[in-house]
Structure 1
């Protein structure tokens, strides 16, 4: 239903009950800790997710050993959590430990996704040549029209963009789009998420019109799926911010207003990301000399900031980068 904050409350209650009735350190308690960590990740609260992810890993290592499926799943989740906390080196450490086990099991799609995530982490650390070597290996192992290959092209384009090889970067993004366009009807949500990644790279290279186009394509797909309203909210917010940055303020306000309603429904009305969008709505209204509306938006933003005990909104704009860069962390 897309109501992630309500799911989080129920996961908390579930863990409390299991801690009362189950044997300490049993496997099921490990699973409950991981599920609560995943619920915190879903609302982008990585700091709160971390202790539960670590607890799940500890229980599963003690009960099942380092080479178990559950331990790999825990490490893949911790990889996402550390990425969300911008602790990229720790995320990479978890990735490498997962890869050791996955390599023993033989080639399959989750191994390739882990290698792709390793490449994205290397990009985040600024190790672009290392990332490109990872990606070249992925290209050798994937089919020409596979989704993983498309995601690898996006990551390759991102690495090249960061090296200021803009022309080659654009070619990679075009290759990715060529693959994804054919899969839109078969896997719409996954394709929409990939389009958002492409938009992010276009934005990095200051190709704002191309980024706007990709975000509009994203919204056209996912507005039909209420279970991913958080994704629709993020895409609307990103689009609103882009339009605002390019001087199209009236259009930007429409997307920002839509984003704030969707994100409130998904993450709760006091989420810091919601406060950031209110802050930007205040700035947009102020630019249009709508002083009363601007004051209302700034007041709401301040209230959320105070309730969240946040000093500023500087990091809020980067929240969506976590999911833009990473795929589904759990190898089901």
Structure 2
């Protein structure tokens, strides 16, 4: 009996590796999931690329704001827009710093109207800015007022849309001057210094240098919090600094999200919302955008249950302030659709798509309905409504520019429809058209992220077409685009993991392991050690190690994966059950029958909670039988 049971366990290892990719039952590889898609690291709530925060209706996923045409409806400052959507104007904090006697050819000397005014009250025309900067550069001994003027110039360059290089040049000059003057403890100079760090950090956000941005923004918060703790709450300058501090929290959140650290990002964003509520009140319209940003960030972290209340709060606030058919509500509902897809509530997602399209059709953004049409089609494909999907995509194709990223996205979805209908040759034909578009964009280095996303979509399609080598080729192309981009580390991990999984499925286990190990390392750096995606990859790595006869290593990876699943999903989730079964088999192969029985008892308890669900009927009986066999094996082993 022992040999027969051991043989069955060994057979399960290899059969599951090759055949359980789309199994709904608890599997050795993925856990219970329907219609597995290699484009997603997890078995829960796969969100297709066309539904995620990309393309014309949703700016970069990593930046966490939604874009409609050329108009950014940002939930925080991508430029220097703060809680009340006005440029930062810290006049009061500078009142005590102004000196009309400067060592430069000051504006006041040329224009008597400027005499006696704070530098933030000077009337500066766009043409004045470079002249003033040149004059400041000739100062023989730059003092505090010169620093103030540099900071004012940096601010004006932000407002007028000048290049980040100009902004940084002036802000860093200001910082150099301010840092050369010792500030008194709790002095107003600390507030001014905090503002300067904030502006530099904000500019690095704009240039997508997120590590640098974090350094300056965190320094800004530390300085401003210390300064404000020593000031009267009613001080007007202090209130403006509180707005700046709130903005720094939001920008820190955006930077962390862009770096693929959504959990850390959400922590800072929640702090920002509390600060914003204290400043503006709980029903202020701008809180809606902040709640949306939290929802988007949680969605990127695949925490759909947590994201749902935040986006519902955003809809409530925006609808109350702007009406149910406002563009802000449309953007919120777009995010809500993505969350519903993650929760596998596809009918609800489809309803949201239709509401978004209706709202946009009645605005000057009606041209942007094409992205909604593509997202709608993707959901219709998932629901098996193929005729509806084709109609949506044909409408979209007529509106998009030929050869554009949106054209490629529409064609990918047409390929998906035909594959689902069994028309594999037609699906492959559309895929070839997409490749031609993407290759042209690679040559011109245009839309790199859109191109990378297109390749990952093609990889998923080719996997469904059982063209695994082609799928791996597409993933490697995507990986080569993501890899040099610092804030795409999470995407890098995704492609690494997907390549590893596909190699594992095709029996190329030794080749798969380095890809999976790299994915684990990258995910640990970006999303932390308690993330669902990390657990999924650890599970695959455990499978690979068992197939290579590295049983101890396999168990180590399974145990880490189970610890994460237990915390994130709970003991009775399908994926937690799957990794527990893996631990049963691995421990059995090492003759650790007590451990195997312990995990099998967990499996039985989990199925007992789910046995009334039709799709899992019979699982409990099988689990109990396996538990009995393990106990019998232990009894036989103990007999003399």
Give 1:159's aligned residue.
417
Distance 1:83 1:59 in 2: 23
Distance 2:325 2:497 in 1: 41
Is the aligned partner of 1:280 residue 2:547? no
Distance 2:312 2:360 in 1: 20
CA contact (8 A) 1:305 1:312 kept: no
Q: Deviations over 1:47-69 (max 9, x none)?
A: 10000000100110011002222
Give 1:57's aligned residue.
315
SS at match of 1:164: coil
Distance 1:130 1:232 in 2: 34
Q: If the length of structure 2 is used for normalisation, what is the TM-score?
A: 0.48
Give 1:307's aligned residue.
567
Equivalent of residue 182 in structure 1, options 440, 450, 456: 440
Is the aligned partner of 1:68 residue 2:326? yes
Distance 1:35 1:283 in 2: 37
Moved more, 72-81 or 305-314: 305-314
Q: Kindly tell me: are residues 51 and 315 of structure 1, through their superposed partners in 2, closer, same or farther at Cα, counting changes over 3 Å?
A: farther
CA contact (8 A) 2:482 2:492 kept: yes
SS at match of 1:105: coil
Compute the displacement of 1:315 (Å): 11
Compute the displacement of 1:145 (Å): 1.1
Equivalent of residue 388 in structure 2, options 127, 130, 135: 130
Distance 2:366 2:497 in 1: 35
Give 1:91's aligned residue.
349
Compute the displacement of 1:29 (Å): 1.2
Compute the displacement of 1:265 (Å): 2.3
Distance 2:577 2:466 in 1: 20
Q: Kindly tell me: are residues 212 and 314 of structure 1, through their superposed partners in 2, closer, same or farther at Cα, counting changes over 3 Å?
A: farther
Give 1:326's aligned residue.
none
Give 1:35's aligned residue.
293
Compute the displacement of 1:17 (Å): 2.2
Compute the displacement of 1:83 (Å): 0.8
Distance 1:21 1:285 in 2: 54
Distance 1:146 1:161 in 2: 23
Distance 2:480 2:336 in 1: 32
Compute the displacement of 1:5 (Å): 2.3
Is the aligned partner of 1:202 residue 2:462? yes
CA contact (8 A) 2:261 2:527 kept: yes
Compute the displacement of 1:106 (Å): 5.0
Distance 2:365 2:278 in 1: 41
Compute the displacement of 1:3 (Å): 2.5
Distance 2:383 2:352 in 1: 15
Compute the displacement of 1:287 (Å): 0.3
Equivalent of residue 246 in structure 1, options 496, 506, 525: 506
CA contact (8 A) 1:53 1:78 kept: yes
Give 2:515's aligned residue.
255
Q: Deviations over 1:80-111 (max 9, x none)?
A: 11111111111111111110111122566531
Q: Deviations over 1:13-43 (max 9, x none)?
A: 1122223332222111111111111110111
SS at match of 2:492: helix
Say which structure is richer in helix.
1
Give 2:406's aligned residue.
148
Q: Kindly tell me: are residues 315 and 144 of structure 1, through their superposed partners in 2, closer, same or farther at Cα, counting changes over 3 Å?
A: farther
Give 1:264's aligned residue.
524
CA contact (8 A) 2:569 2:576 kept: no
SS at match of 1:67: coil
Q: Over aligned residue pairs, what C-alpha RMSD do you find?
A: 1.7
Is the aligned partner of 1:48 residue 2:306? yes
Distance 1:44 1:300 in 2: 19
Q: Deviations over 1:193-241 (max 9, x none)?
A: 1110111011112111110110011111110012011111111111111
Number of aligned residues = 316
Moved more, 293-302 or 236-245: 293-302
Distance 1:227 1:168 in 2: 36
Give 1:227's aligned residue.
487
CA contact (8 A) 1:196 1:215 kept: yes
* Unmatched runs of 5 consecutive residues or more in structure 2: 1-258, 579-640
Larger-Rg structure: 2
Give 2:553's aligned residue.
293
Equivalent of residue 360 in structure 2, options 98, 102, 117: 102
CA contact (8 A) 1:30 1:57 kept: yes
Distance 1:227 1:179 in 2: 25
Q: If the length of structure 1 is used for normalisation, what is the TM-score?
A: 0.91
* Unmatched runs of 5 consecutive residues or more in structure 1: 317-332
Q: Deviations over 1:128-168 (max 9, x none)?
A: 11100111111222222111111000000001000010000
CA contact (8 A) 1:2 1:226 kept: no
Is the aligned partner of 1:217 residue 2:477? yes
SS at match of 1:44: coil
